[in-house]
Structure 1
Amino acid sequence: MIDVLVSMRRGLVALALCVFAQTASATCSEGTVWVRGDFGTARFNVEIADTQRTRAIGLMHRESMPASEGMLFVYPRPQRMSFWMRNTLIPLDMLFVDPTGRVKKIHHEAIPLDETPIPGGDGLTHVLEINGGLARQMGIGEGAELRHPSFDQDSAAWPC
């Protein structure tokens, strides 16, 4: 019964995020990532990990994260990316993103504390981490587009 209630709560949170995002204007700011696709539009408040130190720490040691939040990892040039869940206590969805802001791969529900490498692919500049299971619940899939000022606005699929 508890699993059903948790699942229903997650579904309602996902729906609320979509409804809110569709009614809000999609303005660019450092602490906000917009995601759009066949499912509609969603907004996440994000922490930015754009230095070697902040990327190394990521979401380690956190016991929870609100459904409307996440972390955006930003790299200066396209590269092959692989992540792991060392010291990460909550399941995460990892959206691997190319320089235009298009989601190239999603790893759903990464297992907490698992140090097995999670490959994202080549030519990537960003990774958006959100709560595990949320991408599926919301309908976010490969090909979705992200909007954030860290993307080169001249080549971004969804510029600011």
Structure 2
Amino acid sequence: MSSMPMFSLTAPAMPIARLLRSFLSPLLAYGVALGLCAAAAAQGVPQMNLPRVELQAGMHRIDAQVATAPQERQVGLMHRRDMPMHEGMLFVFEQPATQCFWMRNTLLPLTAAFVADDGTIVNLVDMQPLSEESHCSKRPVRFVLEMNQGWFAKRGLKAGSKLSGRPFAQR
């Protein structure tokens, strides 16, 4: 009795195998990246290598890390011991919603600006380090910009002020 393999990749099936690999490779890479973010957060390591975008608040320039993936948003600025005054983090969500933030494992006092799609600041909230108090947007937004506490106030920026930059460009 001869044995026959249960499954064999024949020549016509090879393009399908290549297609599956090309589809699965980016998903695997994304999963590994998310796993690294989670591992870094669990070990108390801050996220320092997220993509960046330049924003403006009038004549003031902001160098913002951009957190778009759920795990990146979850870690945010946790475990950072310092941050230059012109830097911050822009959280980008898929859909406008009431966004709520807290400061678990966040060592810096921050101000969160809840920002509408057109760059208008909806509301600002000061947040204290290591607090689990929830701070929410007053209406649905897709963007939240966290800066060192006092950055907005020192520049006279408040609800109704406008931010500009690539994320707020008209669609």
The answer to whether the aligner puts 1:112 opposite 2:134 as a matched pair is no
CA distance in structure 1 between the partners assigned to 2:77 and 2:152 by the alignment: 17
**Number of matched residues?**
121
- The one-letter amino acid paired with 1:87 is N
Task: Map 1:23-102 onto structure 2 (within 5 A).
Answer: 31-36=53-58, 41-102=59-120
Please report how far the alpha carbon of residue 82 of structure 1 lies from its aligned counterpart in structure 2 after TM superposition.
0.6
Q: Distance in 2 between matches of 1:140 and 1:70?
A: 15
Name the residue aligned to 1:138: 155
8 Å contact from structure 2 (residues 122, 139) kept in 1: no
8 Å Cα contact 1:82-1:121 kept in structure 2: no
Q: Distance in 1 between matches of 2:69 and 2:162?
A: 23
Deviation at residue 152 of structure 1 after TM alignment: 4.7
CA deviation profile, 1:132-159 (whole Å, cap 9, x unmatched): 11111111111111112223523xxxxx
The 1-side partners of 2:86 and 2:109 are apart by: 15
Instruction: Measure the CA separation in 1 of the matches of 2:163 and 2:150.
Output: 18
Unpaired stretches in structure 1, ≥5 consecutive residues: 1-29, 155-160
Q: Which TM-score applies when normalising by structure 1?
A: 0.71
SS of the residue 1:55 aligns to: helix
Fraction of identical pairs, as percent: 35
Instruction: Looking at secondary structure, tell me which structure has more strand per residue.
Output: 1
Query: Which amino acid in the other structure matches residue 59 of structure 1?
Result: L
| Amino acid corresponding to residue 151 of structure 1 in structure 2 | F
Q: Give the SS at the match of 1:121.
A: coil
1:24-71 Cα shifts (integer Å, max 9, x gaps): xxxxxx5211113xxxx2111010011101100000000000001000
Partner of 2:46: none
Q: Partners in 2 of 1:42 and 1:66 — Cα distance?
A: 14
Q: Which amino acid aligns with 1:139?
A: G
What's the C-alpha RMSD, in Å, of the aligned pairs? 1.5
Partner Cα separation in structure 2 for residue 78 and residue 91 of structure 1: 25
Indicate the SS of the match to 1:93: strand
Amino acid at match of 2:143: H
Mapped to 2, the partners of 1:121 and 1:152 lie a distance apart of 22
**In terms of Rg, which structure is larger?**
2
In structure 2, the gaps of 5 or more residues are 1-51
By percentage of residues, which structure has more helix?
2
- The 1-side partners of 2:90 and 2:106 are apart by 15
The structure showing larger relative contact order (alpha-carbon pairs under 8 Å, at least 6 residues apart) is: 1
Tell me the distance in 2 between the aligned counterparts of 1:117 and 1:94. Answer: 12
Post-superposition CA distance 1:100-145 (Å, at most 9, x none): 110000012x100000101112220101110011111111111111
- Counterpart amino acid of residue 99 in structure 2: M
